[in-house]
Structure 1
Amino acid sequence: MMDEALKQELRKQGIVATTLQELYNWGRRNSLWPLNFGLACCAIEMIATTMARYDLARFGAEVFRPSPRQADLMIVAGTITKKMAPQVVRLYNQMPEPKYVIAMGACAISGGPFKQGYNVLKGIDRYIPVDIYIPGCPPRPEALIDGFMALQRKIEGQTITGEGRPDFMKDEPSCDFVVPEFAAHDLLPTSNQGVWEAPQLVNITTAEKPGTVKA
């Protein structure tokens, strides 16, 4: 590994020294192509982020693709109903590797104000992996830009060798995520256990306190 001070000195002389990993991550970080779709009101903020005032194109995300086969970033912007959830998973499965997901807004993260509704999915991370969570209802364009920059930093820090390399660079073939189907009362499966598993809830009124002795 070359010393950083030496790199800076070489740059002053017009010589750029880098590694294959840095060059590879630099290209991926600055050429993210988001999928051109929105689900609810958060999509209005996402659209505003691409307009002249905020200009997401400055960060390398100028091309919003209408086809999932040409996109590598899914911004889940808005409420995911159970009717829409299978379609979102299908779109994610059609995206080529490497691909990333930003959950934008409280609804995409946990269901938001509709969490107790029978028809709303309580977080898209039940079915697909999420890289960046952006809270808010709805988040402003500045929040989406901040989340986008956080994703760029994550990509920049990825290694292309070793145990810490991304899943798409491992020898095991990647498999599609389970697309839920409609059953009598809910989606089946209700969640993708490989991505998300519901925590075990404990009733504190009936749970035994440590140190107590049964009669």
Structure 2
Amino acid sequence: MSSVKMVEAPEGLEGAGFFATSLDKVIGMARSYSLWPLPFATSCCGIEFMATMGSHYDISRFGSERPSFSPRQADLLMVMGTIAKKMGPVVKQVYLQMAEPRWVIAVGACASSGGIFDTYSVLQGIDRIIPVDVYVPGCPPRPEQILDGLMQIQELAKNESLRRRNTPEYSALLESYNIQ
């Protein structure tokens, strides 16, 4: 028995030889299966991400087989591991260099809340400097958890309106992080 995931067509009108739906739904489906992740790995969670990229877990099944190492070509920032306070401005700059729409996953306890490093030099969660869409728990999280976080981002990308990023609420969120 094959474990191939069937991609569902967006709901719309179907008939003999044609299919009609809204542009938002088609673009959302295309975005969700063509994410280009930028791995920002600093410690153990990066090793688990490497396992997720390997053939056993195969992140390419989810349309993310091409990791980007340039922020300008990425739409998903995956922050993995301990982020020192001195690295905070670098993470924020990488986030700002990414084109819209962009999503962020905080992978592991350290990226989410500082983990066991409750010290003056460690950032106690990247959500203090950039908005985070999905948190993946664990120290380090299993590759299955990372894939689950990726699938949550896919759902966000699929269901997000093309106009959401132009709303006053989204602008206010960015202003709260001092992001223009």
Scaled by the length of structure 2, what TM-score is found? 0.84
> Structure 2: which amino acid aligns with 1:118?
Y
In 1, distance between residues paired with 2:156 and 2:20?
22
In 1, distance between residues paired with 2:127 and 2:157?
19
Structure 1 pair 36–102 and aligned structure 2 pair: CA distance change class (3 A): closer
In 1, distance between residues paired with 2:121 and 2:115?
13
In 1, distance between residues paired with 2:67 and 2:168?
30
> Structure 2: which amino acid aligns with 1:158?
E
Cα deviation digits, residues 106-153 of structure 1 (max 9, x gap): 101110011x21210000000100000111111100001011101111
Q: Structure 2, unaligned stretches of length 5 or more? A: 1-10
- Give 1:15 shift: 2.9
- Give 1:66 shift: 1.2
- Give 1:44 shift: 0.6
Taking every aligned residue pair, what percent have the same amino acid on both sides?
A: 50
Equivalent residue, structure 1, for 2:51? 48
Normalized per residue, the structure richer in strand is 2
Q: Kindly indicate whether structure 1 or structure 2 has the higher relative contact order, using CA contacts under 8 Å at least 6 residues apart.
A: 2
- Give 1:27 shift: 1.4
> Structure 2: which amino acid aligns with 1:155?
A
In 2, distance between residues paired with 1:123 and 1:194?
16
Equivalent residue, structure 2, for 1:166? 164
Structure 2 residue 88 is matched with structure 1 residue 106: no
Scaled by the length of structure 1, what TM-score is found? 0.71
- Give 1:16 shift: 2.2
In 2, distance between residues paired with 1:171 and 1:77?
30
Structure 1 pair 171–131 and aligned structure 2 pair: CA distance change class (3 A): closer
In 1, distance between residues paired with 2:55 and 2:106?
23
In 1, distance between residues paired with 2:33 and 2:164?
18
> Structure 1: which amino acid aligns with 2:164?
P
Structure 2 residue 57 is matched with structure 1 residue 73: no
- Give 1:39 shift: 1.3
Equivalent residue, structure 2, for 1:127? 129
> Structure 2: which amino acid aligns with 1:145?
L
Equivalent residue runs for 1:15-94 within 5 Å: 15-94=18-97
Secondary structure in 2 matching 1:35: strand
Q: Structure 1, unaligned stretches of length 5 or more? A: 178-192, 197-215
Larger Rg: 1
Is contact 2:39–2:80 with CA below 8 Å preserved after alignment? Answer: no
Normalized per residue, the structure richer in helix is 2
- Give 1:18 shift: 1.7
Cα deviation digits, residues 10-54 of structure 1 (max 9, x gap): 36x443222101111111111110114311110111111111001
Q: CA RMSD for the aligned pairs?
A: 2.5
Structure 2 residue 160 is matched with structure 1 residue 194: no
